[in-house]
Structure 1
Amino acid sequence: MKPNSTALAASLLSSALLLFVQAATAQTTSPPPATATRPATTPPGQSSLPNEGPPATTNQTTGEAPRDPTVKKMNEAEKGKVERMGK
């Protein structure tokens, strides 16, 4: 199949024309208006209210149940293996 030189010329001409129009448009458009709001120079004060609950203490529990002695023994055995032999 032989390429048609007329179709090739028309394609190149239309591409060049499109490129020229885009370049001309890019040069003539003005930048958008600068109406963006700027951040405040001083941050606003704290807007949230403090918690009304009592302060946390170190002896409050998390609700975790005590470990089963068998599980505790297995965990200690595995921890000892890791310390002796590595992972």
Structure 2
Amino acid sequence: MKATPAALAASLLSGALVLNAQVASAQTNPPPATATRPEANPSGQISVPSNAPPATTTQTTGESSRDPMVKKMNEDEKAKVETKGK
């Protein structure tokens, strides 16, 4: 299907007119301000203490031990950053 320049221009012009009408309508008719504010202390949303034991520094995260080569590379890079900066 081959579009003629006149049809293309008419389509573009009508689209611009519709867009301008929508913008003008939105500026003259703002939506009603019916938004509600959240409660200061929402009901049903209170924190309760857990029965779980407190976390300790000796708990593991499940991470497996790293390859010694990777560990050495990480230490080398960390030392480089500490001495030279980023």
Tell me the TM-score normalized by structure 1. Answer: 0.39
Normalised by the length of structure 2, the TM-score is 0.39
